[in-house]
């Protein structure tokens, strides 16, 4: 079986038959798909494995080392992208890891692949096609889907190597208060209160945010007494950002793509969930990862305002979990804490 290529390089297009995989979503989706992508690459060692994904994910895709080539699609949110710029022979195999709707199936079918694996339309004649389950964890969903077609994949095979460069803050407790939507954004004043208390306990704390979140970074760092050397507001390229998380003492965030990067690097983490349950998107069941949530009805993960379940997590609860993760008390294996 092929081993994943070293991070930082992708094989050029060649004459091998192609396995084209569609998963044109975000960073967390990419990393949750690593076990499935790794299984695909190993199951087709004589093929070139190509991932259709947004252009902006290029550095992250290279870092995973699980595909041979990145077929760049438009950065258009979570919508199914056009694949009309595909050139060359039709794929020998096309695999839809994008979702269960007809749009992603049709986008791949338009390329006339010799074989198409898709949740929307099982292969003809399959004796036991996989059924979509809304209550299934994302990593398990796609591994089970592939297993039904004879492609073994382990949902716990999600680790990726750290980048070769140094961390800008090795050994720090890293807070990432941002999120793509307000629904998954815990209040900044609570992050600030937790940051100050962790700092008072003798740990270096840094805050990192993405583009457009500079004010959020300041609103957490200022009240917690953090200076410029401890803030990274949209200033880090992907490899440095990844190194920051890979070499952190602890990573604290909401349910976002960077949380999945902490899981992939094996970095101890505390993740705040709401409106989506950790049973669907949470970390692997290991003692170094703590998922905090307050059970309630599922909400809209793309809503503008913080989800009520997320808001029920108080600063004291998050601080206690963070100190546990830092070693003052060991969380039990596979624990999911409920507020």
pLDDT at 87: 92
Distance of CA 337 to the CA centre of its chain: 21
Of residues 327 and 255, more confidently modeled = 255
Q: Report which of 76, 63, 128 is spatially closest to residue 103, judged by C-alpha positions.
A: 76
pLDDT at 313: 98
| pLDDT tens profile 148-179 | 999 999 999 999 999 999 999 999 999 999 99
Lowest-pLDDT range, 8-17, 66-75, 210-219?
8-17
What phi, psi does 185 have (nearest 5°)?
-110, 100
Whether pLDDT at 127 is above 70: yes
| pLDDT tens profile 205-249 | 999 999 999 999 999 999 999 999 999 999 999 999 999 999 999
| pLDDT tens profile 246-276 | 999 999 999 999 999 999 999 999 999 999 9
pLDDT at 269: 98
Asked if 32 contacts 53 with a C-beta cutoff of 8 angstroms, the reply is no
For residue 94, give the DSSP letter. Answer: E
Can you tell me the distance from the alpha carbon of 267 to that of 325, in angstroms, rounded to the nearest whole number? 11
Whether pLDDT at 8 is above 50: no
Whether pLDDT at 107 is above 70: yes
Can you tell me the distance from the alpha carbon of 80 to that of 23, in angstroms, rounded to the nearest whole number? 9
Can you tell me the distance from the alpha carbon of 140 to that of 156, in angstroms, rounded to the nearest whole number? 9
Can you tell me the distance from the alpha carbon of 107 to that of 40, in angstroms, rounded to the nearest whole number? 20
Number of alpha carbons in the 13 Å side-chain half-sphere of residue 74: 10
Helix axes 214-221, 188-200, angle to 10 degrees: 40
pTM of the full predicted structure?
Answer: 0.91
pLDDT at 78: 85
| pLDDT tens profile 20-55 | 999 999 999 999 999 999 999 999 999 999 999 999
Mean pLDDT, the chain, as a whole number?
A: 92
pLDDT at 76: 85
């Amino acid at each position: 079986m092929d081993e994943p290529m070293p991070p930082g390089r992708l094989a050029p297009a060649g004459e091998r038959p192609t396995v084209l995989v569609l998963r044109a979503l975000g960073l967390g989706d990419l990393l949750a798909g690593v076990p499935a992508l790794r299984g695909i690459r190993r199951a087709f060692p004589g093929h070139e494995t190509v991932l259709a994904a947004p252009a902006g994910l290029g550095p992250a895709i290279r870092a995973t080392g699980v595909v041979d080539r990145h077929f760049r699609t438009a950065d258009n949110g979570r919508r199914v992208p056009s694949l009309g710029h595909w050139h060359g022979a039709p794929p020998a195999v096309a695999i839809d890891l994008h979702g269960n709707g007809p749009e992603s199936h049709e986008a791949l079918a338009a390329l006339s692949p010799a074989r198409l694996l898709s949740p929307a339309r099982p292969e003809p004649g399959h004796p036991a096609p996989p059924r979509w389950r809304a209550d299934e964890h994302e990593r398990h969903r796609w591994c089970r889907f592939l297993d039904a077609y004879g492609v073994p994949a382990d949902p716990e095979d999600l680790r990726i190597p750290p980048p070769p460069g140094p961390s800008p803050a090795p050994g720090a407790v890293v807070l990432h208060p941002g999120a793509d939507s307000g629904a998954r954004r815990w209040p900044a004043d609570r992050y600030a209160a937790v940051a100050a208390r962790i700092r008072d306990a003798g740990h270096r704390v840094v805050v990192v945010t993405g583009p457009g979140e500079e004010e959020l970074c300041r609103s957490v760092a200022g009240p917690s007494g953090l200076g410029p050397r401890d803030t990274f507001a949209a200033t880090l390229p992907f490899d440095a950002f990844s190194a920051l998380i890979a070499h952190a003492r602890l990573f604290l965030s909401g349910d976002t793509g960077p949380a999945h990067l902490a899981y992939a690097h094996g970095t101890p983490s505390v993740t705040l969930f709401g409106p989506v349950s950790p049973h669907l998107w949470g970390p692997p069941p290991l003692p170094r990862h703590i998922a905090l949530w307050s059970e309630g009805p599922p909400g809209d993960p793309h809503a503008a305002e913080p989800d009520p379940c997320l808001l029920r997590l108080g600063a004291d609860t998050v601080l206690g979990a963070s100190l546990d993760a830092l070693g003052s008390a060991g969380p039990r294996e596979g624990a999911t804490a409920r507020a």
